[in-house]
Chain A
Amino acid sequence: MNGLDELRWTLDRHAADVVDHDLGGRLGLVHQRVHAVRRRRRTAAAGAAALAVVVAVGVGRVTGSDPEVEPSPAKLGGLDVPGSIESLGYTYRYSSGEVGEGIAAVVLEPAARPRLVSWGKAGADDRVTMTGPDPDGAPLDYDVPDFSEFVSVPAGIEATVSARGDGEFALAVYELDTQAAPPPGVTVDGVTFREDVAGDRLLDAAVGSPGESEVTVSGAGTGSVSYRYFCADAPPGATVHLEVPGAGAVTGECDPVPDTDPGAGSGVTVEAPASGDVGARLWVTDGEEGPPLVSDDVVVALGVYAVTPDRSAAAGYAVRDLVEHDGRLWRRAEVRASEPGQREVVVAGREGRLPQLVVGFGRGDEVSARLEHDGSMWRSGFVDDDGVVVGPLWEGDRAAVRVLSEEVPAAVRLVIALYERVDEGPVG
């Protein structure tokens, strides 16, 4: 067999291994996406015209280049609005608001910094149904009307966040306040590597000045260590490289905007070498195999974390005590495991004003997790034995981790871990 034959054989074999489990539901999901985009476009188009005449519907367009954060209005539609909200140690300052009756929406254009959208409501009925920023997400019903809840919108993306409910209510947009004290850690030019990310401990971090296309970290560690990084503001074709001596190297593309909280992102995890040296290098080249990038704007950052050993064993999986998701910290509350050979684990959402967070565990290519809202699937994905955050589980909804293959291996074990919120609340 020569090399090209083997290449073709490898591609054919992996293509043949694909089992189209989602064919039955794909058409519906695609139409949901189409409708979400059309809704977003309609909302965006309506926004500019509706701003001056908002009576029953409040729609606001928020650009990503607001030069200054507005002071809190104290009142929005007769509701007290907090001047700031905290999320994972960061302070977000009130930026703008919309008042609506029946429905209100804000269209957030891509911004350099992350934002939060919160809401408040007067009257006897507390129910507010939030949609967004994930266009595939199901509407989320909150019975929390006092600006103590929020949805987070990452930097660099456009999002429409809408709310529906009876009577008048208000949406408030908060921008990350770079003048406020950041959480403990390493902060450079508005980028913070937090010293603690859900129990993972920062060992070292480096943030390059604009134009520096290479950074290094050093230090000593044991067990699992995780490298979290970004490259941003680079010209097209720029390629970022991460090399961990003794472990390997990865390459990737740069992001459109710097990540203000790179420690929270996914990264590259390896076992620390016996020497304990966890040093690594990150650099950017002009093209995949080109020379080091020369750019006045490129920004790179690299941090190395000791991954927390605080976990509990469940059916052969190591379930973390803490996770972060959607701008909040969650603590493990309950673990449901399958019996050997059982095809699925299903959990119904509990009663309560706030959701639990579902993390799924399984082994094999064909172990899927999904969330169901009103009887239809609204989010699905494949899980693995490291655990994957599936999403929030609300009262009335269901979460399932399931083996999709016809045969269920006798030894297969599945786990759903449920987490509850640790942090919440406004501070201003």
Chain B
Amino acid sequence: MEAVGFDEFVVARSTALLRTAYLLTHDHALAEDLLQTALSKAWFSWSRIDGSPEPYVRRILVNTYATWWRRKWNGELATEELPERAHSDASDAVSSGHDLWQAMERLPRRQRAVVVLRYFEDLTEAQTADLMSCSVGTVKSQLSKALAKLRIDPALATSDGKDLS
């Protein structure tokens, strides 16, 4: 049985979801893998979705990302790099944006997800909590921790005067 509207949804909306996936994973290939995984999961319950499917698929995407096990591929040559600790000039917006991007890589997955949902998707705390299947209090505490970690991240240590609050 083919889910009605699924194909159209993938064509119309998956690029936007890919952007979210990339902000979560910071990796193009992983983002594509995450998106395809989420879409595949959504396919099986497509006929039961009430209303717009996008929040439903986005929920699957975020929760799949948050619970992904660290993958292992025997013999892969690419290796995880330790984060660089070099400081950069905070007056350079491009440079400090790069540092912020690197600093976000060091956030635990749920904290990174909360940051993306709140500040990229512009979801409210309640919407974020609903999407992540947790309480508003958890969203607040995760966001607070994430911002605190970004504030003290060594890559941003020279960013005096910036207030991530």
Contact = CB atoms under 8 A, between A and B. Distances in A.
Interface of A: 1-4, 6-15, 18, 20, 22-23, 26-27, 29-30, 33-34, 37, 152, 154, 156, 198, 226, 239, 244, 247-253, 255-256, 259, 261, 264-270, 288-289, 320, 323-327, 330, 359, 365, 380-382, 384, 386-389
Contacts of A18: 15, 18-19, 22, 28, 31
Contacts of B19: 15, 18
18 contacts: A3-B150, A6-B162, A7-B150, A8-B120, A10-B97, A20-B15, A23-B11, A27-B10, A29-B36, A30-B36, A152-B74, A248-B84, A248-B85, A251-B106, A265-B74, A323-B77, A326-B75, A389-B77
Contacts of B77: 320, 323, 359, 386-389
Interface in B117-165: 119-120, 145, 150-151, 159, 162-165
A219 B20 CA distance: 42
Contacts of A269: 79-81
Contact of B69 (A226, A255, A330): A255
Nearest to A383: B78
Interface string B44-88: 100000000000000000000000011011111111111111000
A2 B20 CA distance: 23
A381 B120 contact: no
B62 to A, nearest CB: 15
Pairs A-B, 10 closest by C-beta atoms = A3-B164, A324-B75, A325-B75, A248-B82, A33-B40, A3-B162, A15-B19, A11-B120, A269-B79, A381-B29
Nearest to B93: A1
A239 B107 CA distance: 12
A82 to B, nearest CB: 22
Interface residues of B, number: 60
A334 B96 CA distance: 42
A283 B32 CA distance: 32
B19 to A, nearest CB: 4
Contacts of A381: 29
Contact of B100 (A7, A15, A359): A7
A216 B147 CA distance: 31
B81 A256 contact: no
Contact of A327 (B10, B74, B109): B74
A251 B36 contact: no
Contacts, number: 173
A4 B164 contact: yes
B39 interface: yes
B81 A34 contact: no
Contact of A289 (B10, B109, B145): B145
B83 A14 contact: no
Most buried by B among A26, A239, A252, A325: A26
A256 B80 contact: no
Contact of B70 (A33, A253, A261, A387): A253
A268 B18 contact: no
A253 B69 contact: yes
Nearest to B38: A30
A249 B18 CA distance: 29
A240 to B, nearest CB: 9
A91 B89 CA distance: 54
A154 B72 contact: yes
B113 interface: no
Contacts of B116: 11
A266 B10 contact: no
B102 to A, nearest CB: 10
Nearest to A157: B69
Contacts of A22: 32
A239 B32 CA distance: 26
A416 to B, nearest CB: 14
B43 A10 contact: no
Contact of A324 (B32, B74, B80, B93): B74
Contact of B119 (A11, A154, A289): A11
Contacts of B100: 6-7, 10
B34 interface: no
A18 B30 CA distance: 13
A388 B28 CA distance: 14
Given A26-B32, A30-B36, A251-B106, 9 more contacts: A1-B93, A2-B162, A3-B150, A20-B14, A20-B18, A23-B14, A269-B79, A325-B74, A389-B75
A226 B82 CA distance: 11
B29 A389 contact: no
Contact of B43 (A30, A265, A289): A30
Contacts of B150: 3, 7
Nearest to B97: A10
Interface string B97-118: 1001100101011010001100
Among A22, A37, A326, find the residue whose CB has the most chain B CB atoms closer than 10 A: A22
A3 B165 contact: yes
